[in-house]
Each structure stands twice: as structure tokens, then as C-alpha cells.
Chains A and B, each alone.
Chain A
Amino acid sequence: MDTASACLIITTIIEGKNIMIEAIFTYKFLQNAFLSGAIIGIIAPLLGAFIVVRRLSLIADALSHVTLSGIAAGLLLGQKASLFAGVNPLYFGMAFSVGGSLLIERLRNVYRHYQELAIPIMMSGGIGIGVIFISLSDKGLNTDLFGYLFGSISAVSRTDLYAVITISAIVLITVYFLYKELFILSFDEEFAKASGIPAKAVHLAFIILTALVIAVSMRIVGVLLVSALMTLPVAASIRLAKGFKQTIWLSVLFGEISVITGLISAFYLDLAPGGTIVVTSILILLGVIIWKKEKN
């Protein structure tokens, strides 16, 4: 590569950066997307660390599908009932997700010997109900829906951002004050119960928080990929970390890198951010696996 073309590339990149920064200052929606993304990049992998070690990754997936049916219900009601016209469908998503998480717990008790059955039941239920709502609604829904499925930069509103901030604050405070209970519950449930820790209550708090984080993350990464943001960074960090605290910090770092890189490339290449974020985290994961192999 000669110097001239190298220079050209560099100036393009710098100009690109300027465009981006300018754009962030100019367009509210970009602020919303990047702030929400940066926050979600922290809390999704944070809860994800607990989810992965408890082998509940698939529950995250099931809940995201239930969230979709909530969103679809919200969009439909917004169209059909004037009462709900101004209500953010995200709230419906959150309500459905929390309801779904409680239902999963119920089902896991009903099928004590086939606990994983709860997941396909909820997943197909979520999609099935969602699809019915979608077919009942008017055509204009499709573009909105694409954003909810695969994430969106332009569709993130102020109220979405506020929801993200509120839920994240609750998550951070809860994890800070219940860290040791969450840890022992994840590591050794029987021991947690034997030592008299309110295991059921802590588990319930955890599963509700997970449901809420899934619902708010979905705006950025999309229904279909939200569980990836909770699990892929953890999958990478587990290969490197000494101890659980380090696992959390590394997961958050990888998650944040994935979200920021993903959002920037989505902005430039005009792609759905869900895709770019997940591809980035897969690249990180691959990098870690290969690096670890080389080292041994």
C-alpha cells in the first residue's frame, strides 16, 4: 500500500469519526441508541454471567420470545384502542417478560424431571401469540417489527432510554447488595438453602431482573439476539478468568466492546445493530478460543 492511499484511508476514517460525533450531537435518536447500548453492554453480560453458570441460557431465549408477543400486543393495542395509542410497547414487552419468567418457574416445578420442557413451551407460546397479534394488526407494523426483531439505532426513543436507565439502576443496585447470595445460589443451590439463605426470594428477584433486562435490551439488539449479548461475552470470559468476579468484569468488558463496535459499524454500514453486535461478540469469542489454544 503506498503512502498516498494510506493517507486517504486515514483521512476517511478521521472524517468518518467526525461525522459520527457530529451526528451524535445533532441527532437525539443517536444519543438514545448509543447511551442505551452502552448501558445494556454492561448489564446484559453482568446478569449473563449468573445465567450462564446456572445453565439458564435458554431461559433468556424463551423470555425474549415472550417479550416479542408483549411488544406485538402493545403495537396492536396502540393501533386499535385509542387508550393505548401513546403507550410505549416496550412496557407491554416488560410486563409479558416478567409474567413469562414467573410462568417458567411454575412450569419448572410442574415438570420437575423435565425442567427444560418449560423452555420450548414458553418459546413457541411467545412466538405463536406474537404472530397472532401481528397478523391482527395493520400493515404499517412491519418496519417497526423488523427493528424489534433485529435491533435498531434509529428507533430508540427517549422513553426507551429512560426505561433502560431505570432498569439498569435497579439491576446494579440489586446485584451490588445481593452479590454474595446470588453467587452462592449459582454455585451451590443446596448449600445456599442449607445455610438458611432465602434462596427462593433471591432466585425470584434474579429471574424478574433478567426478564426486565431482556425486555429493555431488545430495543438495541433485537428479540432474536438478546440472549446472545447475555451469553457470548460470558462464554469468552469464562475461558480466561480466574474466579467469578473476574468472569463478570471480563464479560462486561467484552459485552461493551461488542455493543460499541457493533453500533458504530451498524451506523456506517447501515445494518441492523443486532447482527453487528452479535458478530463482534462471536469474533471476540473465536479470538479467545484460538488464543487459549495457542497458549497451551
Chain B
Amino acid sequence: MKEKPPVIDIRDVNFRYDRENVLEHINLSIPKGAFVGLVGPNGSGKSTLLKIILGLLKIKEGSVELFGIPQEKFKEWDRIGFVSQKANSFNTGFPATVAEVVMGGLVKKVGLFRRPGQKEKDAVKRAVKAVGMESFLTRNIGDLSGGQQQRVFIARAIVSNPSVLILDEPTVGVDSQNVDSFYRMLTYLNQELGMTLLLVTHDIGTITDKVTHVACLNKYLHFHGSMEQFVELDEQELSDLYGHGIRLLDHHHDH
């Protein structure tokens, strides 16, 4: 039996913006169906790594494969959904309805010069429903709360029915009560719809009981493995990874 290639396969990637390397010797492969938590302190290069995966930043050293295809040749970008870190700091005065924003996720799929039709409108309604925002379809995005906006951006990312969803610190600016239901939604996408998830966060405590794999990044990838392997690490190894003492399985939020 031939094994399926990893959904995302990063090999020996180094990256720098200016002079100093921001990422070094990154090897990371994400199997299909996994829920990967990518953790690391601020400035550790998490967003940079995601931008490399998405082809937003070009690498000179190393390689990235998506669904077994070298990134340079990869065309099916609608198989990868993306919720950027900046999604919750967009121009809130932008006059766009929830339906219009979510339709943005189908632009690539519909194709250049074509106009979306009923099929796409139905897909938008389904995605908005999947994130529990169906009663807000015609509301302006700027009139919603931070948590609601984040759900809309998830809907936009999943409307094209991608097999991978990449999220960059999606819970920043979402209050703790909504964070819980937000993670329930992610678990649903992962377990029921079989979506592979790559979730970036600087707060490891909130995700340890949700993810299947953990990757710890701080310029180097210090640890990459399944949750079982991760919890077996002792206190000393953990603080080496993360730079300071971290608390596993911590559900308290300070705000």
C-alpha cells in the first residue's frame, strides 16, 4: 500500500528578511487529518513560516511541497484555506456584507473573468451556517464583534471546501467565552469534516487538549511530534523549548 504524501512537507528551509535568519533548518511535515498546533513566543517566526507555506514569501533555501507537489508547480490554492493574523485588524469601515466577504473565498475557484452564480451563493450560505453566523448574512462586517468577525473569516476560508485550513492566531481579540466555542468549531471541522488544521498560537496552554500534533518554533523547530510524545516531555525539556516555564493544560484565561 502506498502511503499518501503529507499535506504539507517543509524541508531544510532557511529564511531571512534582512540579514539575520528568522527561520533555520525547518523540517516539518503535516499528515492528512492532523490538527497541528504551531506554538512559539512572539517574533519566533510563526507567521513567517505560514507565509512561506502559502507562497506569500519566496524561499531561496529549502523546499516546500503541498499535497506531494512542489510549491512552484502547485496550482490548486483553493485546497488551502487561510485565516491571517491580520484578519481581525482589517479596515472596519469597509462597506462589505458578511455574504460579500465570504464570497471572497470562492474568487479563485470561480476563475478569472467569470461571475459567481447560484451554486456559489449556496456555498456561501452553507459556510456561513457552519460557523453559526447565518442570521448576519446581510450585515456589514464592520458592525460585528471581534469574535463574530473571526467566524466570518473562517467561513471565507472554508467556503471553497479546502482540505487544509491554516489559522494564524485566530483567537486574538476574541473573548474567552467565545474562544471555547471557537475551538469546538475547529474540532468539528477536523473530526467531522476531516479537515487538516494548522493552528498558530503563542498560547500553548489553551490548545494542548485539542490538537493531535505540536510543533514548537523559535527560529528553529525545537520539537515536532504527536501530542502523546509532547506530554511525555519533562518540565526541564519544555522550558528549554519555550524559553520560560509554560503550563500545560491550563484553561484559565487572564483577561
Contact = CB atoms under 8 A, between A and B. Distances in A.
**Chains A and B bind each other:** yes
Interface of A: 53, 55, 176-181, 183-184, 186-188, 190-198, 238, 241-247
Contacts of A180: 103-104, 107, 110, 115-116
A249 B72 CA distance: 40
B115 A179 contact: yes
Given A180-B110, A181-B107, A198-B112, A244 B82 contact: no
A192 B90 contact: no
Interface in B90-118: 90-91, 93-97, 99-101, 103-105, 107-108, 110, 112-113, 115-116
A178 B56 CA distance: 22
B53 to A, nearest CB: 10
B59 to A, nearest CB: 16
B216 to A, nearest CB: 24
A247 B94 CA distance: 10
Contact of A193 (B56, B90, B97, B115): B56
A245 B100 contact: yes
A244 B54 CA distance: 27
Interface string B66-79: 00000000010110
A242 to B, nearest CB: 6
B84 A243 contact: no
A27 B198 CA distance: 68
Contacts of A243: 95-97, 99-100, 138, 140
A194 B156 CA distance: 13
B95 A241 contact: yes
Contact of B104 (A55, A188, A193, A196): A188
Given A184-B107, A191-B82, A191-B84, 14 more contacts: A53-B91, A55-B91, A178-B112, A181-B107, A183-B96, A184-B104, A187-B90, A188-B104, A191-B104, A198-B112, A241-B95, A242-B138, A243-B95, A243-B99
B95 A247 contact: yes
A181 B112 contact: yes
Contact of A187 (B75, B82, B94, B116): B94
21 contacts: A53-B95, A177-B115, A178-B112, A180-B116, A184-B107, A186-B94, A187-B100, A187-B104, A191-B84, A195-B77, A195-B108, A196-B77, A196-B78, A196-B108, A198-B112, A241-B95, A242-B139, A242-B140, A243-B97, A244-B97, A244-B100
Chain A interface secondary structure, helix, strand, loop or mixed? helix
Interface of B: 54-56, 75, 77-78, 82, 84, 86-87, 90-91, 93-97, 99-101, 103-105, 107-108, 110, 112-113, 115-116, 138-140, 156
A177 B112 CA distance: 8
A243 to B, nearest CB: 4
B94 A53 contact: yes
Contacts of A190: 56, 84, 86
Contacts of B86: 190
B96 A194 contact: no
Nearest to B116: A180
Contact of A178 (B90, B113, B138): B113
Contacts of B140: 242-243
A242 B103 CA distance: 16
A233 to B, nearest CB: 13
A197 to B, nearest CB: 6
For the complex of A and B, the 5 pairs showing the least CB-CB separation, nearest first, are A196-B77, A243-B97, A184-B104, A195-B108, A247-B95
A197 B107 contact: yes
B93 A238 contact: yes
Contacts of A244: 94-97, 100
Contacts of A242: 95, 97, 138-140
Nearest to A177: B113
Given A180-B115, A238-B95, A243-B138, A194 B107 contact: no
